Amino acid sequence: MLTMDNIVREGHPALREVAKPLTFPLSEEERTLAHEMMAFLENSQDPDISEEYGLRAGVGLAAPQLAIPKRMIAVLIPGEYEDDPPELKAVMVNPKIVSHSVENICLKDGEGCLSVDRDVPGFVVRHTRITVTYQDINGKTFKKRFKEYPAIVLQHEIDHLNGIMFYDHINKENPLNLDDDVKILG
């Protein structure tokens, strides 16, 4: 199983590369990767398993974080209440933001990253709503709209496919500067 030891940290060149599109059918290895990435998120959100293996509770993971330069992400956003079905559970292959809102949003407490072992304060401004095209592991194509928290997570993960880290979006001079038309979530 994947643990924090499999996740590369800032400074590793894999996090700054532009990942390559996948072609179908996926190889056996690529299908296994998809399942392992989702299993990591599930394990990380399980209190017993995460404690036993020292996992941070993750909502998203991108293949470049495993030093695999391929355009694959996994997202697992829990439902509002315990035992609710997940708000979003998906492995997305070749995800692409094809349109987005003019309105922007950011998380009240900023962002962190499984590949970043420090607190980086500052607002990370994202699009409030996005339309994403992607393929599932079988090559079926989807076009879906996401808003608010799921949209933020997807933008964070798709950034990883393009070598972009969350703190690249933080205003260097004034990290807590925010245009007054940006919505704050949380």
Give catalytic residues, as residue numbers: 157
For residue 131, what are its two tokens? 């339309």
Residue 78 binds ligand UDB (CB under 6 A): yes
**Strand duo 183-185 + 104-107: pairing:** parallel
Residue 73 binds Zn ion (CB under 5 A): no
Query: Among the candidate windows 12-20, 78-86, 112-120, 131-139, which touches Zn ion by CB under 5 A?
Result: 112-120
Q: Could you give the CA distance from residue 173 to residue 10 in angstroms, rounded to a whole number? A: 21
Report how far Cα 37 is from the mean position of its chain's Cα atoms.
Answer: 11
C-beta of 172: minimal distance to ligand UDB in Å?
19
C-beta of 39: minimal distance to Zn ion in Å?
18
Q: Binds 61, which of Zn ion, ligand UDB, none (CB < 5 to 8 A, cut-off by type)?
A: ligand UDB
Residue 2 binds Zn ion (CB under 5 A): no
Residue 59 binds ligand UDB (CB under 6 A): yes
Q: Computed from CA positions of residues 101, 105, 110, 111, in that sequence, does the dihedral angle turn out positive or negative?
A: negative
C-beta of 140: minimal distance to Zn ion in Å?
26
What's the CA angle centered on 106, arms 4 and 148, to 5 degrees?
85
Letters for 125-164 (x = contact with ligand UDB by CB under 6 A, - = none) are: ---------------------------xx--xx--x----
DSSP string, 23-73: -SSPPHHHHHHHHHHHHHHHHHTSHHHHHHHT----SEEEGGGGT--BSEE
Interacting residues toward ligand UDB by CB under 6 A: 45, 56-62, 65, 78, 111-114, 152-153, 156-157, 160
